[in-house]
Amino acid sequence: MIMSENTPNPEQQPEENNMAHENPTPAPTPSQISSLEKDLEKMNAKLDEVRSEMHKLIIGQDEYINLLIVALLSGGHALVEGVPGIAKTLTSKLLAKSTSLDFSRIQFTPDLMPTDVVGTNVFVMKDSSFSFKQGPIFSQFVLIDEINRAPAKTQSALFEVMEELQITIDGMTYPMEEPFMVLATQNPIEQEGTYKLPEAQMDRFLFRILMQYPSEAEEIEMLERFSGEKKSRDLSDVNAALTGEEIMHFRSLVQQVKISDQLRKYIAQIVQLTRTHPDLYLGASPRASLAIMNTSKAAAGMAGRDFVTPDDVQAVLLPVLNHRLTLTPEREMEGITLGDVLKDIVEKTEAPR
C-alpha cells in the first residue's frame, strides 16, 4: 500500500482501534457459498439482461419491472393500473419479447364474448366433425388490455385458465403451455363503460401494481432519447435474453429458497389480522398467504440470497394485498388508504429476528 506522509502506519494505530478490528466477521469463502446461491447469481445475471433489453425503450419504472419479474418467477399473474400514456402496454410487450415467450394481446371490449377469448368448436363440413379452434388465450404471455371494459360473462372465461392453467370446452380439457402468464391493464380514472372486476377474479391476480408517472429527470431523458429518428415503440432492437426453459428452471430455483417456520407464522399472523382489523370490511384469503410466501422467495432470490428475511415479506405485502382487501365505507370516506392499514398491521406484528 502506498502511504502519504500524513497517512499513519497501521502498526502505530492506538490499541483500542486495533481491538475494534480484532475479530472481524470473515467474508464467506467460495466453498461456503451454497450451490443454490451460485445458481441464483447466474439467474440474476440473466435477469439483468432482461432489464437491459427493456430499458432500451423504457426509462425508469424499475419497481414496476422488478414486480413483473417477481410475478414471472412466482408463476403468477399481474394486474397493472395506471393512467393512459405511461407505457403499461409497451412494458408488457417488452417483457414478452425479452423473454422470447409466445405473445398474444386481447383488447377487451363490451361486446367481446367468452369464445373470442378461449376459442370454440368449429364444424368441419368435409368429414362432418367438430374441430377446436384455439382462442388468443392459448399463448405463453397474454396481455389483456383494459380488462375492465368487458362484462362479467367474458371475465368468467379467465377464471379456469388463470387458476388451473387449462381450458375446458364441451367436456374437453386443453392444458396451457408453460410458462404461462396473464398481464392485464386497467385505467383507474375513467369509469364510464367499464365493469368492476369480481372479487373472485381479482383474487386470481398475484399482484396489483400501481404504475406511477415518471420523474422529471426520467421524462427529460425520454424526450432526449426519442428526439431523433428512434421511435419510442420500435421493438426491433429488443432481443430475447431468456427462454421459456430457463424461466421454468428459475422458478424451480426460487422454490428452493428457504423460509423459516417463524417467517411462515409471521405471514399467517399478518393475513389473520387483515380479517379482524376494524378498518377492513374484507380480509385476505388463504391464496394471499401462499402468494406472500412465494413472492417473498422470489424477492430473496433476486437479491441473491437462498433464504427469506422479514424485509422480503414486507416488500411484497402491498402489491399482493392491495386488491384483496376492502376498506370499510367509513374509513374510505375519511381518506384512509390500504397502505395505511397495512402499515398499521405490520407495526402490530412482531417480525422474527
- Rounded average pLDDT over 241-262: 94
pTM of the predicted model, to two decimals? 0.84
Give the residue from 87, 102, 96, 100 showing the smallest Cα distance to 57. Answer: 87
Under DSSP, is residue 3 helix (H, G, I), strand (E, B) or coil?
coil
- Residue 4: pLDDT over 70: no
Residue 285, pLDDT score: 92
Domain boundaries, the chain: 34-256, 257-353
Looking at the chain, how many residues does it have? 353
Of all residues in the chain, the percent with pLDDT exceeding 70 is 90
Residue identified by cell 417488452 is: 94
Residue identified by cell 437491459 is: 52
Q: Decide yes or no: CATH 3.40.50.720 for domain 34-256.
A: no
Write the pLDDT tens digit of every residue in 55-81: 988 888 888 999 999 999 999 999 999
Write the pLDDT tens digit of every residue in 88-143: 888 888 998 899 889 999 999 999 999 999 998 888 888 878 888 999 999 999 99
In whole angstroms, what is the distance from residue 79 CA to residue 206 CA? Answer: 8
Cell of 65: 419491472
- Rounded average pLDDT over 325-350: 91
Report the C-alpha dihedral over residues 245, 93, 141, 162, rounded to 10 degrees.
Answer: 130
In whole angstroms, what is the distance from residue 327 CA to residue 174 CA? Answer: 38
CATH entry, 257-353, from 2.30.30.100, 3.10.20.30, 1.10.645.10, 1.10.8.80: 1.10.8.80
Strand partners, 121: 132
Residue identified by cell 427493456 is: 54
Band (pLDDT 50/70/90 cuts) for residue 170 is confident
Give the residue from 87, 276, 119, 296 showing the smallest Cα distance to 207. Answer: 296
Phi, psi of 266 (to 5 degrees): -60, -45
| Greater pLDDT, 320 or 18 | 320
Phi, psi of 30 (to 5 degrees): -55, -35
- Residue 245: pLDDT over 90: yes
Residue 29, pLDDT score: 53
